[in-house]
Structure 1
Amino acid sequence: MENESKHRLAVIVGSVREGRFGPVVASWVAEQARSHGGFEVEVVDLAEVELPLALPAMPPKLAGADYPRPAGMAALTAALEAADGFIVVTPEYNHSYPAALKAAIDWHFTQWAAKPVAFVSYGGGAGGRHAVLHLENVFSELHAVTIRDGLAFPNYFTAWRDGRPLSDEPAGYAKTMLDQLAWWSGALRAAREASPTRRERHRAARTCSPGGPAAPRSRRRRGGVSGRSRSPGGRRRPGPRRGCRRSPHRSRRRAGRPPSGAAAGRPGRAGPRSPGPARRRSG
């Protein structure tokens, strides 16, 4: 019963480079996660996985369980499938993340979806933050949820000794990250169990997409398709598909209000904005 209340966490070592520091960081992260008490932890080292860069023609999102993966990738796929959440430990190579990590991501899709992902990075002066910024964009495309709080270790070659950070502060930051990861792991696991079937989600996406299927023949009416109206000049005026949201700009125009960007009482586009105080961009 105790193990059932814990979330299954996969700590992924993203570097396969010779002489890498990633396993040291991943071991420390796994230790923090086990001490947290909310996780069953498994360390997944990509250096032990067969990761071809050439991918099959059909993406894993469409192929599903029939996606042809190499036999040497079976352990990785099983670990990702079973996990409730992930911590990706990544270095920064040329302002981005390693190619092996990208390959591991691209060989899978449903294994990442609706699961939380936290990041621990290390590098030079930036501490691997550029790599994390790129990874956040990638995982959002896979319908994963990225955790806001993570860990970055700048100049790790002087900030670590005997497999641990010299400072005690990272342990506190790790607890904050793990608390958020535990909450999201439980919330998203419940959401996955209550979600509609994959076929229903695909059907809904096709219905609301601009290139979705045409209306059934039974709904066709003389002079147009159901859901469309005619303008006074006789031309068909498209209307929203069933179950899809109307564009807010179109709603404003039909309600008699000027669209955003146009000044009230003045036709056309709004003029140049008046100069104001300069803003400083953070970061």
Structure 2
Amino acid sequence: MSDPYLSAILDEAERVAEQHDQIARSTDHPTHEYLRYAVLRLLEGEADETTANIPEIDGVTVGYGEDEAMFDSWGDDVEWWETVPTREECTRFRIFYPDEYKIVPRVIVDVMAVLGAWRVWAGNAAACGSYDHRERREVHYLWPEGHPVEERLHERLAGPAAAVAPDGGRTGDIRDRMVVTEDSSQLADLEPRTRRAVDEAMAVSLLEKGGRYEVQSASGSWYEVDVISESCTCPDWQQRAPEGGCKHIRRVDHEIKQGRVPRPDGRLPTGLNQT
């Protein structure tokens, strides 16, 4: 049940991001927007293609919106919030289906389950003032912003550069370049930031498994480097975000390749001095 439907949702969300990116231009949570629009297209039979054989049901209509906004519009006029109070930062899906189904169709249950949404209300559509749907029933699901499925989509949209490399680091970043040593004759040919990253006195330690490192610079300042998101808290990165990373990001890359610090996955590299 779960895996094929999840793949179908993610595949459709990718197409939404590529072909209908305008739907997320006014939101701070684009992956959330892409995913909920993908669910609409899948359940309404509008998806271009899917990797799963998702049954189509004629007469299904999907609506959604912020739960708090719906409460502000409907308030006490409906019974939706009597069982489950309104939730902050949650999408409420309203899914309409033909009245001939006495229980919620299985395909709706399965799709919403793999999305990570939970059912909070079901009943006759007309009873909730949905007069355009008076011959149908509806079921409501809540789905929180920041759900792990969003991260799955983010990884897909980020492309190969976001993949974890076999050495526990990342593919497509500075560690795919030539590894240098402090006495290498090639140091002089390196770009200035990389040369400073290798030359300057810095202390690097793994702050948290998952790619977060702490760097103490020669000036005594402390900065946090995240090699997965390729970010640093130093002013150079925050203000300029130089291509290839600031010297602290490059130094962490260098230390990982030299085997002096644990890899981003927390494992000790072969040959690391553990004394």
Q: Fold conserved (TM > 0.5)?
A: no
How does the TM-score come out when normalised to structure 1?
A: 0.24
How does the TM-score come out when normalised to structure 2?
A: 0.24
Bigger RCO (CA 8 Å, 6+ sep):
1
